[in-house]
Amino acid sequence: MAGAQFARKSMQLPAKLVFGDDYPPQPCIMSEVSPDGAHLFVANPSDLPEKGTLWMTADGKVKRSCTVVTRTLTGVGVKFG
């Protein structure tokens, strides 16, 4: 993510974006993460709602509220909080 305040850690981990009852959960690949946000590869990034929850584990025990701040053809950048 451009302008990130913290060093990002590169990875390729499965994750899930959850937006509530009105939008189905979206599987994604977390490619970078820092304390303030993450970059995610996801199908149809332009269709995603702005606010949701990033499940960093399959069972949702590790999750962060997030806001989509950037969109590309293949993914989104999210800010935590």
When pLDDT is averaged across residues 54-65 and rounded to a whole number, the result is: 93
Q: What's the pTM value of the predicted model, to 2 decimals?
A: 0.85
pLDDT score of 78 more than 60: yes
Which CATH architecture does the domain made up of 9-80 adopt? Beta Barrel (2.40)
Q: Where are the domains of the chain?
A: 9-80
pLDDT for 7? 66
Residue from 74, 10, 3 nearest 36 by CA: 3
